[in-house]
A and B are shown apart, each in its own frame.
Chain A
Amino acid sequence: MENALLVGLSRQMALTHELDVLANNIANVDTDGYKADHTLFEQYLMPRASDQSFPGADRGVRFVEDRADWIDMSQGAIQRTGNPLDVAISGSGYFVVQTPSGQQRYTRNGAFSISGSGQLVTSDGSQVVGSSGPIIFQSTDHDISIGPSGIITVREGNSTADSQRGTLQLVTFAQPQLLQKDGGSTFTAPAGVAATPAPADTTVVQGAVEKSNVNAVLAMSRLIEITRSYTDIANLLQAQSDERRSALSQLSQTPSS
């Protein structure tokens, strides 16, 4: 009898967890380069009572266990912004950025800017890493152009010829699901997960950013589902508790004779 209560509770805890994840997705529905999280639940089989002397079949109890979250790495919509320093990745791959403390991070958020010292940086000031080190612009550079392969060319001063300022480094991972979210729309690669150069069909688009890949319609319908099933479980627990109460009150009635 207690089991029904606990099974219901395991489901409610899983639903609360799912709501937390969903709330984070919806909060980031407008965050450039954001990748949606999804929850993964699985049933947890309670080990059966080992004593086989019970009359009748001994049936297992199944709990809900929140097994894991996984990141949906699908491509988000590409929005044109017209800003020459906005770069969106079309295809699989990540930009490599370096935090002020020297650690490497990977991101799909290509809303870059130029720092006061002329370096190409992300909007929170982390350095964008090119194929051969940081990308540094001269103070007289203008007409910045970023080609599909990530090559950055500018016109320097009065020159009419293009000068190269570096190439955006694009990397990919054999197992992208091992990447960890690090906040700031960046990912970290845990030890043993090596970055490899992105495939040739990965290109970048200048003057555009990749929007969040959260599907708002799905998120909202999932939200309704979560609240409804939470209420359903609550009703179930209520019914269970009522049943128990009436059983107790009936059993406690002592025969009058």
Chain B
Amino acid sequence: MRALDTAATGMAAMDLQVQVIAGNIANMTTTGFKSQRAEFQDLLYEHVQRIGAQASEQGNILPVGIELGSGVKTVGTPRLMTQGSLAQTGNTLDVAIQGDGWFKIQMPDGTFSYTRDGSFQQDAQGRVVTAEGNVVQPTITIPPNASGLTINQQGQVSVTLPGTTTSTILGQLNLTRFANNAGLQANGDNLFTATPASGAPTDTVPGTDGAGTLQQGYLEQSNVEAVSEVSNLIAAQRAYEMNSKVITAADEMLQTTSQLMK
């Protein structure tokens, strides 16, 4: 019975939907997290009786046909790249991006990853690093005894060195933009890597060419909306239940048939 397989695809899709929602809810307070959503499409159809087929020799055509669908498939779980709200932390090395763009991070193996999580630290050599110790690109080294670290909206990092009253520019924090942010691959630790689907990375100065601006002392919160996640969870659970009822119904009908024979 085809209905059994069809309902099974429905249950598998709803199972995945719940997994995606669980991931979103678990990351509700993760800095720079972008929520995911599962996108579904209907599976291929069997055209049992083709629409528009000729029905008589007089040229009448069938206005409707018989099409049997075979369920649902998942096409992707893209991320919703909307802006998360900014929370004030007061920490001088916390930087939030307001608008489009990613911080470029150098991984221990020399490759680059990208993140929206701007909760930076200083390592033993004074370099600006992420919470996992990976160096933020371009490398900015803060000299010891420097005070009054400021990062302006355009990404200029400046400090006041001891014995001086004017500030010294240490470097420039750039942002990287992609044609398709949703095409980036998530690798955990709030890090993403470029893929053929994301397009090539372009480094830009914050506030120019469509890139966002930087906000020192703020962190970008996760963009998960609790209300919509919970309502989606309810809908997914009910849909799962309904698909299981279809399986029960198909099973009952098969049972009825088998009982016909005595």
Q: Given the complex, which residues of B lie within 8 Å of A226, measured CB to CB? A: 249, 253
Smallest Cβ distance from B160 to chain A, in angstroms? 31
A29 at the interface (CB under 8 A from B): yes
Instruction: Answer whether A113 and B78 are a contact pair too, CB < 8 Å, given A123-B39, A142-B100.
Output: yes
Instruction: Answer whether A24 and B259 are a contact pair too, CB < 8 Å, given A68-B66, A157-B210, A223-B245.
Output: no
Smallest Cβ distance from A67 to chain B, in angstroms? 8
Q: State which of A28, A139, A158 has its C-beta within 8 Å of the C-beta of B69.
A: A28
Instruction: Answer whether A142 and B235 are a contact pair too, CB < 8 Å, given A158-B208, A182-B45.
Output: no
Contact B6 A27 (CB under 8 A): yes
A203 at the interface (CB under 8 A from B): no
Q: Given the complex, which residues of A lie within 8 Å of B182, measured CB to CB? A: 113-114
Instruction: Answer whether A29 and B10 are a contact pair too, CB < 8 Å, given A109-B41, A118-B199, A123-B41.
Output: yes
Q: State which of A117, A156, A179 has its C-beta within 8 Å of the C-beta of B199.
A: A117
Interface mask (A214-229 → B, CB under 8 Å = 1, otherwise 0): 0010011001101100
B241's closest neighbor in chain A, by CB? A220
Most buried by B among A23, A115, A140: A23
Contact A22 B42 (CB under 8 A): no
A184–B204 Cα distance when bound, in Å, is 37
Instruction: Answer whether A140 and B2 are a contact pair too, CB < 8 Å, given A27-B72, A116-B196.
Output: no
**Residues 232-261 of B contacting A (Cβ, < 8 Å):** 235-236, 238-239, 242-243, 245-246, 249-250, 252-253, 256-257, 259-260
B179 at the interface (CB under 8 A from A): yes
Q: State which of A69, A182, A220 has its C-beta within 8 Å of the C-beta of B245.
A: A220
Contact A180 B242 (CB under 8 A): no
B101's closest neighbor in chain A, by CB? A142
A115's closest neighbor in chain B, by CB? B180
Q: Given the complex, which residues of A lie within 8 Å of B238, measured CB to CB? A: 216
Q: Given the complex, which residues of A lie within 8 Å of B196, measured CB to CB? A: 116
**Residues 54-105 of B contacting A (Cβ, < 8 Å):** 62-72, 75-76, 78, 80-82, 99-100
B64's closest neighbor in chain A, by CB? A68
Contact A24 B71 (CB under 8 A): yes
B225's closest neighbor in chain A, by CB? A82
B52 at the interface (CB under 8 A from A): yes
B219 at the interface (CB under 8 A from A): no
A-B contact pairs, 8 of them (CB 8 A): A16-B3, A30-B235, A118-B179, A124-B41, A124-B76, A183-B69, A185-B41, A223-B249
Give the top 3 A-B pairs by smallest Cβ distance, nearest first: A27-B10, A24-B69, A23-B3
Interfacial residues, chain A to chain B (CB-CB below 8 A): 12, 15-17, 19-24, 26-32, 34, 37, 40, 66-70, 81-84, 109, 111, 113-118, 123-124, 137, 139-142, 155-158, 175, 177-185, 190-193, 216, 219-220, 223-224, 226-227, 230-231, 234, 237-238
